[in-house]
Each structure stands twice: as C-alpha cells, then as structure tokens.
C-alpha cells in the first residue's frame, strides 16, 4: 500500500516551477470540471499518458545516440504511459464523454505534448518533478472521488469489463474498487517520478563538483 499523503517538499527553483505549473493546471481542472470526477478523469488521464511516452522516446533516442544503457528507465516510463492509457480507456466507459469533451481532449493532448517535450529537452529533472506533483494531485482527486462514492453523493456502478480484466478485479467489483486501484497506480507513478528527479538532481550536483574540482586543479597548475 502506497502512502497516499506523501508530498515532496520544494527544495529549489526547479521544484518551484514544477509545483507552480501543476497548481495552475489543477486550478483549470477545478474550474472546468468541479466535482464531475468522471469527466475530469477522462481529460486528465489523456494528459497523464503523455509524459511517460515522451520521456521514454527521448531516453530511447539518447541511449542510441550515446550508446549507453538506460538503466531500465525507458521500460518504466513506457509502462507508466500504457498504464495511464488504461485509466483513460476505463473512464471513457464510465463518463461517456460528449463530442465537445472529446474535442477538448484532443486539444489538451496536442498542447501538452508540445509543452512537455520542450520541458523535457530543457530539463528532464524538472519534467519528472512536474509529473511527480501531477500524480500527487491525482491521488488527491481520486481520494475526493472515492469519498463522494462512499458517501453516496455519486452513485456507484459496476466496474467496466476492461477494468476488471486489466486489474484482475472480482467480477462483482464496482467503480469504488476501480478508483482505489487507479489511485494506487498514481501513487506509484508519483514516487517513481520524484525518485527520477532526485537522481537527476544528484547527477547534476556531481557534475558541478567535478567541474569546480577540475578548474581548481587547473588554476593551481
């Protein structure tokens, strides 16, 4: 069981940018969808499936270019993208998006792909931190969704067949069970991306230390 309340504290400017960007998108989601959690999930999962694919693609090309092992990062990111896509497929069955909402989905995906691609090219560390914060917000949103279902404010319903097959849920599973497993998925993605950002941060610090050391040795000569 993942810690659902875990939050990564801001430590530097890169983290501030990542958190600020995430809070801005959260504001947009809250403004447009309010408590229409099923429809919110459809749009957000469309966006959430982008980072893993973009990151995996860029790391794949980097691995080929530098002829270096990726340490398993590519598979992890592509698996994340595939998992987020299954979240989307599930909530399409639940929310049944309208033509307008499908148009918004396409537009949001197009815009976010371009934005995230540039962010990852400029700073992979910031890109992974953004996803880490995205997933923190996703955990919060799904917890709110689950609370509405458990209180009866939103009517529970049988779990879609696609969800039962993908997560190996009982045949009598309901939407509440689906939300729980998806929330756990998001918590896992949160931890992975924050860990990747931390690793990249440490690599950057080592490079700086190495550069300073080389410059110091050069000046002494």
Domain span including residue 34: 13-220
pTM summary value: 0.88
In a domain, 137, yes or no: yes
Q: How confident is the model at residue 212 (pLDDT cuts 50, 70, 90)?
A: very low
Take residue 205 and report the two structure tokens written for it: 């610090």
Q: Tokens 């941060």 correspond to what residue?
A: 201
In a domain, 5, yes or no: no
In a domain, 17, yes or no: yes
- Decide if pLDDT at 147 tops 90: yes
**Count of the separate structural domains present in the chain:** 1
In a domain, 83, yes or no: yes
In a domain, 8, yes or no: no
* Cross-strand bridge partners of residue 158: 174
Mean per-residue pLDDT over the chain, rounded? 88
- Decide if pLDDT at 33 tops 80: no
Q: How confident is the model at residue 215 (pLDDT cuts 50, 70, 90)?
A: very low
Give the tens place of pLDDT for each residue, 153-195.
999 999 999 999 999 999 999 999 999 999 999 999 999 999 9
Q: What is the Cα 39 distance to its own chain's centre?
A: 18
Q: What pLDDT sits at residue 150?
A: 94
Sign of the Cα torsion 105, 194, 138, 141 reads negative
User: Among 105, 117, 133, 155, which Cα is nearest to 16's?
Assistant: 133
Give the tens place of pLDDT for each residue, 81-123.
999 999 999 999 998 888 887 887 788 888 999 999 999 999 9
Least confident interval from 41-45, 61-65, 66-70, 121-125: 41-45
Q: What pLDDT sits at residue 44?
A: 82
Q: What pLDDT sits at residue 106?
A: 84
Q: Compute the half-sphere exposure of residue 163: CA atoms within 13 Å on the CB side of its CA.
A: 27
In a domain, 6, yes or no: no
Cα three-residue angle 132-137-174, rounded to 5 degrees: 115
Take residue 47 and report the two structure tokens written for it: 């966006």
In a domain, 7, yes or no: no
For residue 35, the domain's CATH number is 1.20.1260.140
Helix axes 124-151, 37-66, angle to 10 degrees: 160
Quote the percentage of the chain above a pLDDT of 70. 91
Per DSSP, helices labelled H in 67-174 are 73-95, 99-122, 124-151, 161-167
Q: Between 214 and 32, whose confidence is greater?
A: 32
Q: Tokens 């918004």 correspond to what residue?
A: 104
In a domain, 3, yes or no: no
């Amino acid at each position: 069981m993942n810690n659902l309340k875990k939050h990564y504290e801001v430590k530097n400017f890169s983290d501030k940018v990542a958190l600020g960007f995430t809070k801005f998108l959260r504001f947009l989601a809250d403004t447009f969808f309010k408590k229409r959690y099923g429809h919110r999930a459809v749009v957000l999962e469309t966006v959430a499936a982008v980072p893993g694919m973009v990151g995996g693609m860029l790391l794949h090309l980097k691995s080929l270019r530098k002829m270096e092992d990726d340490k398993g990062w590519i598979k992890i990111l592509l698996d994340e993208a595939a998992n987020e896509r299954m979240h989307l497929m599930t909530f399409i069955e639940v929310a049944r998006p309208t033509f307008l909402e499908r148009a918004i989905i396409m537009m949001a995906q197009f815009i976010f792909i371009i934005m995230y691609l540039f962010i990852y090219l400029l700073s992979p560390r910031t890109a992974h931190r953004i996803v880490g914060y995205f997933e923190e917000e996703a955990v919060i949103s799904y917890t709110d969704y689950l609370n509405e279902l458990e209180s009866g404010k939103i009517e529970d319903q049988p779990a879609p067949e696609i969800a039962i097959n993908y997560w190996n849920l009982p045949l009598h599973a309901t939407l509440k069970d689906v939300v729980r497993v998806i929330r756990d998925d998001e918590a896992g993605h949160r931890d992975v991306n924050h860990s990747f950002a931390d690793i990249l941060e440490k690599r950057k610090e080592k490079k700086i230390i190495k550069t300073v050391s080389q410059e110091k040795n050069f000046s002494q000569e």
